[in-house]
Chains A and B, each alone.
Chain A
Amino acid sequence: MKIKHSLKRKLFQIIAFGYSNPYLMNFKGGKIFKGKWKQFCNPGLNCYSCPAARFACPIGALQAVNGSMNFNFSFYVIGLLLAFGTLLGRFICGWLCPFGLIQEFIHKIPSSKLKLPKIFTYIKYIILVVFVILLPILVTNYMGMGKPAFCQYICPAGTLEGGIPLLSTHPELRQTIGGLFSLKMFLLILTIIGCILIYRFFCKTLCPLGAIYGLMNKISIYHLEIDKHTCVNCGKCKNICKMEVDPVKVPNSAECIRCGECAKVCPQNAIHLGFKVRTSSISENVTVSKSKD
């Protein structure tokens, strides 16, 4: 039996979600997992204060080390992000990220669907630089410790996966709710509405991890290639892409999450995704056929 590509990806995403969040029973008592795995970072965005989380969130971890008393550059987390990004690029977003999957489910809520103007996709780079890198390093207390500004002021994944489950099970924490929580709830509601209307609204506009992996799409080993000799420019790939990418023009676009939908609709089979570089074999074929002529 042949499984449809989109279903195959969904199953893959659900398995990855379960692997990143196996401790579901922790939701009951509002506990969080405290084992050794927490020193490692999840490749995708997943709040480490989520009761079910197995790993640390890479964006939270980066801010924690950058804002710590002793260091303001995390070799460990940057090293991990470079390795993940060089190997897979935004394949991580399309296939492995728990918050990516949550957004895809939210987008299934029936409503009219909208496209996002391209200018908004640049916001995530500003967030990466200002909230994830600069503020935790520069705004410090008398002990030299900075706060994780992205987690504190923006991250809707933290509010949804950590905030709501923990506050609903800890009455003592509920007593300290203030303006900051209202701001984060407002941003969460905005993100949910955004995700209902626009496919992966958070990934496109706000996610600093998506910004990092997007930049690395240009060099990642897992990549997308177009066989320009067989492509007939029918535009079917561009029309199906929910990330609003034209893979023929920009195969390594920072927005491409390597979902593979374009490759599936291509009538010429001209789009290839994978680790293997095919360009050399394509040009070889051309040379061979030219020499035959």
Chain B
Amino acid sequence: MENKKKYIVRTTIIIISGVFILYGFVRNETEIVRNKAINICLECIGLG
């Protein structure tokens, strides 16, 4: 990929990722992540 094209793709992805992260925060996805991560995950340890 040429540098200019790469620059456009990168900038677009960075903007999209910022919007995604904010939207995820707004709809409380972080709570789901935290809830999963602060309790022993039975699947991870091979029991679930």
The interface of chain A, by Cβ under 8 A from chain B, is 32-34, 36, 38-41, 47-49, 53, 55-57, 60-61, 64-65, 68, 71, 74-80, 82-83, 86-87, 147-148, 151-152, 155, 158-159, 162-163, 166-167, 173, 176-178, 180-181, 183-185, 218-221, 277, 279-280
Chain B: interface residue total (CB-CB under 8 A): 36
* Known interface pairs A76-B20, A79-B20, A83-B21; A48-B43 also in contact (CB < 8 Å): no
Q: Which of B14, B31, B32 has the most CB of A within 10 A?
A: B32
Q: B38: which A residues are within 8 A, CB to CB?
A: 32-34, 38
Distance to closest chain B CB from A192 (angstroms): 15
Contact with A along B1-38 (1 / 0, CB 8 A): 10100100110011011111111110101111110111
**Set of chain A residues within 8 Å of B27, measured between Cβ atoms:** 71, 75
**Contact (Cβ within 8 A) A38 B48:** no
* Bound CA span A57–B23, Å: 20
Q: Are B37 and A48 in contact (CB under 8 A)?
A: yes
A76-B24, A159-B44 given; 7 more Cβ-contact pairs under 8 Å:
A65-B32, A68-B32, A75-B27, A148-B44, A155-B44, A163-B44, A219-B10
Contacts A60-B36, A75-B29 given: A86-B41 contact, CB under 8 Å? Answer: no
B17 and A86 form a contact (CB under 8 A): yes
Contact among A32, A76, A176 with B47 in the assembled complex (CB-CB below 8 Å): A176
Q: In this complex, which of B19, B22, B23, B40 has the most chain A Cβ atoms within 10 angstroms of its Cβ?
A: B40
Residues of A within 8 A of B23 (CB): 75-76, 79
Query: Which residues in B have their C-beta under 8 angstroms from that of A151?
Result: 41, 43-44
Establish whether residues A56 and B16, one from each chain, have CB atoms under 8 Å apart when the complex forms.
no
- How far apart are A176's CB and chain B's nearest CB, in angstroms? 5
- Give chain B residues whose Cβ lies under 8 Å from the Cβ of A277: 3
Distance (whole angstroms) from the CB of A261 to the closest CB of chain B: 25
Which chain B residues border A147 with CB–CB below 8 Å? 43, 48
The answer on a CB contact under 8 Å between A82 and B16 is yes
Q: Which 4 residue pairs spanning A and B have beta carbons closest together?
A: A76-B24, A79-B20, A158-B44, A79-B21
Q: Which residues of A contact B30 (CB under 8 A)?
A: 39-40, 76
Bound-state CA distance A147–B44 (Å) is: 11
What is the distance, in angstroms, from B46's C-beta to the closest C-beta of chain A?
Answer: 4
